[in-house]
Amino acid sequence: MANLKKRVPENIPGDFYVDSTCIDCDACRQIAPSVFGEAAETSLVKAQPVSSADRRLALQALLACPTGSIGCLGDDDVKAVMKDFPLVIEEPVFYCGYNSPKSYGGNSYLIRHPAGNWLIDSPKFVTPLVQRLEALGGISHIFLTHRDDVADAERYAEHFKSRRIIHRDELSSQPGAEIVLEGLGPWELAPGFFAIPTPGHTKGHCVLLFQNRFLFTGDHLDWDRDERRLAASEDYCWYSWPQQAESMERLADYRFEWVLPGHGQKVHLPAAEMRSEILGLAESMRQRSHV
């Protein structure tokens, strides 16, 4: 729970505030960009919400915050907002919320599917979300992009009797995983579900392509809100930047319209524009590799 005595000085005065325990994971700025902005080392409240819609978004951000660093002095019904999660992105894909500090505030997603629902990476294991997932039919599969964002996957797998999927080179983070991806891939996991190897951020990093429309990208790829382009982070590349550039270029062989990252902003673009963005990003990454 946020502490008013620790509120960062950059907050605009009012009901909502961010305190100094914030880890600057960006989740609140993704959910409520009209309310939250970026300070030097934390998020901040850049504008107090005026409309009921913006206030609802701010409360959703409060609940999603992995470190409980957002406070609200109002008498809002936060329990009612808990029922908003998971938030629809585009049917049948949802954002889970309740980001976990174990994955540095990484996003996780739900795919509702008649053959069994899928969880992509893991949120916190918290009762309100677990109950909502139960009501939506539970979780059959948990796809883990890489070692950094497994969070509470083991607890979800145990509770829902789910099958976890992860690459062999990431297996030390989930040694009990039920399905282990071997070799270079790609792998058809089920009709409409393709795992694509994207080594670079980590050795065994993989992304998940669903219905040739939704690409769940882990820490491989996201959208730069300021520059309005696809982006990848060399500063947070733990294995090989040149390999990440190669992995990026291979994504141009696939059709998709959504980039849904573990860290960073999601984006929806026409497939042709997305492919052009991917090729441009891969080229810029290769150039940086040779500097």
pLDDT tens digits, one per residue of 120-169: 999 999 999 999 999 999 999 999 999 999 999 999 999 999 999 999 99
Q: How far is CA 114 from CA 34, 82, 121, in A?
A: 36, 25, 20
Return the CATH number at 159: 3.60.15.10
Q: Which range marks the domain in which residue 32 is found?
A: 4-77
The residue from 77, 98, 119 where one domain ends is: 77
The residue from 24, 44, 77 where one domain ends is: 77
Per cent of the chain over pLDDT 90 is 98
Q: Is the pLDDT of residue 92 over 80?
A: yes
Give pLDDT, residue 288.
Answer: 85
3 state DSSP class of 291: coil
Burial label for 68, CB within 10 Å (0-12, 13-18, 19+), is: middle
Q: Is the pLDDT of residue 291 over 80?
A: no
Q: Is the pLDDT of residue 213 over 90?
A: yes
Give pLDDT, residue 279.
Answer: 98
Q: Does one domain contain both 191 and 259?
A: yes
Rounded average pLDDT over 1-7: 94
Q: Does one domain contain both 12 and 117?
A: no
Q: Does one domain contain both 34 and 173?
A: no
Domain count, the chain: 2
Q: Does one domain contain both 144 and 55?
A: no
Q: Does one domain contain both 12 and 136?
A: no
Q: Does one domain contain both 193 and 65?
A: no
Q: Is the pLDDT of residue 182 over 80?
A: yes
CB of 235 closer than 8 Å to CB of 288: no
Order of strands across the sheet with 141-143? 87-90, 93-95, 109-111, 118-120, 141-143, 163-167, 179-181
Give pLDDT, residue 188.
Answer: 98
159 token code pair: 């509770």
- Give the pLDDT band of residue 290 (cuts 50, 70, 90): low
Q: Does one domain contain both 144 and 41?
A: no
Ordered DSSP codes for 176-208: T-SEEE-TT--EEEETTEEEEE-TTSSTT-EEE
The separation between CA 68 and the C-alpha centre of its own chain, rounded to angstroms, equals 17
Q: Does one domain contain both 163 and 117?
A: yes
Q: How far is CA 278 from CA 76, 200, 222, 234, in A?
A: 42, 15, 11, 16
What is the identity of the amino acid at 167? H
CB of 26 closer than 8 Å to CB of 264: yes
CB of 11 closer than 8 Å to CB of 18: yes
Q: How far is CA 111 from CA 44, 80, 252, in A?
A: 31, 23, 23
CB of 171 closer than 8 Å to CB of 202: no
CB of 196 closer than 8 Å to CB of 212: no
The residue from 77, 102, 127 where one domain ends is: 77
Give pLDDT, residue 1.
Answer: 81
What is the identity of the amino acid at 117? N
Residue 200: CB partners within 8 Å, gap ≥ 6? Answer: 220, 232, 237, 239, 240, 241, 242, 243, 244, 245, 246, 247, 248
Mean pLDDT of the chain: 97
Q: What is the tens place of the pLDDT at every residue in 25-44?
A: 999 999 999 999 999 999 99
Q: Does one domain contain both 114 and 238?
A: yes
CA 26/CA 9 separation, integer angstroms: 18
